[in-house]
Amino acid sequence: MSATIPYGATSAGAGPDMVRAEGVWKNFGSLEVLKGISLEVARGEVMCLIGPSGSGKSTFLRCINHLERVNAGRLWVDGELIGYRQKGERLYEMHPREAARQRRDIGMVFQRFNLFPHLTALQNVTCAPTLVGKLKKQVADDRAHELLTRVGLGDKASTYPNQLSGGQQQRVAIARALAMSPKLMLFDEPTSALDPELVGEVLDVMRSLAQEGMTMIVVTHEMGFAREVADSLVFMDGGVVVETGAPREVIADPQHARTRAFLSKVL
Partner 1 sequence: MNAQSLRPGRTEGESDPARERIEAVPLRHPGRWLAAGVIFVAVALFVYGAATNTAYNWDYYAKYIFDQRISQAALVTLELTVLSMVIAIVLGVLLAVMRLSPNQVLSGVAWVYLWVFRGTPVYVQLVFWGLFATIYKQLRVGVPFGPTFFTIDPASAIDVFWLAVIGLALNEAAYMAEIVRAGILSVDEGQGEAATALGLSWWQTMTHVTLPQAMRVIIPPTGNEIISMLKTTSLVTAVPFTLDLYTRSRDISAETFTPIPLLLVASTWYLFFTSILMVGQYFLERYFAKGARITAGAGR
User: Which positions lie near partner 1, rule CB under 8 A?
Assistant: 65, 67, 96-97, 100-101, 103-104, 106-108, 110, 112, 114-119, 127-128, 131-132, 160-163, 173, 176-177, 180
- Smallest gap from Cβ 34 to ligand ATP, in A, equals 8
Contact between 65 and ligand ATP by CB under 6 A: the answer reads no
26 binds, among Mg ion, ligand ATP, partner 1, none (CB under 5 to 8 A by kind): none
Find the angle CA(234)-CA(34)-CA(103) to the nearest 5 degrees: 80
Please say whether the beta carbons of 172 and 115 come within 8 A: yes
Task: Give whichever of 141 and 189 is closer to Mg ion, judged by the CB atom.
Answer: 189
Q: List, edge to edge, every strand of the sheet that includes 72-77.
A: 31-42, 17-28, 72-77, 80-81
Give residue 154's identity as a one-letter amino acid code. G
Q: Which residues of 142-171 are buried (b: 16+ CB within 10 A; e: fewer)?
A: ebbbebbebbebeebbebbbeebebbbbbb
Measured from the CB atom, is 49 or 144 closer to Mg ion?
Answer: 49
Which C-beta is closer to Mg ion: that of 15 or that of 54? Answer: 54
| Of positions 8, 56, 129, 254, contacts ligand ATP by CB under 6 A | 56
CB of 120 to ligand ATP, least distance (A): 29
Closest approach, Cβ 202 to partner 1, in A, equals: 17
Cβ neighbors of 14 (< 8 A, separation 6 or more) are: 78, 79, 80
| Interface map 118-147 toward ligand ATP (x if CB under 6 A) | ------------------------------
Among 21, 33, 206, 230, binds ligand ATP (CB under 6 A): 33
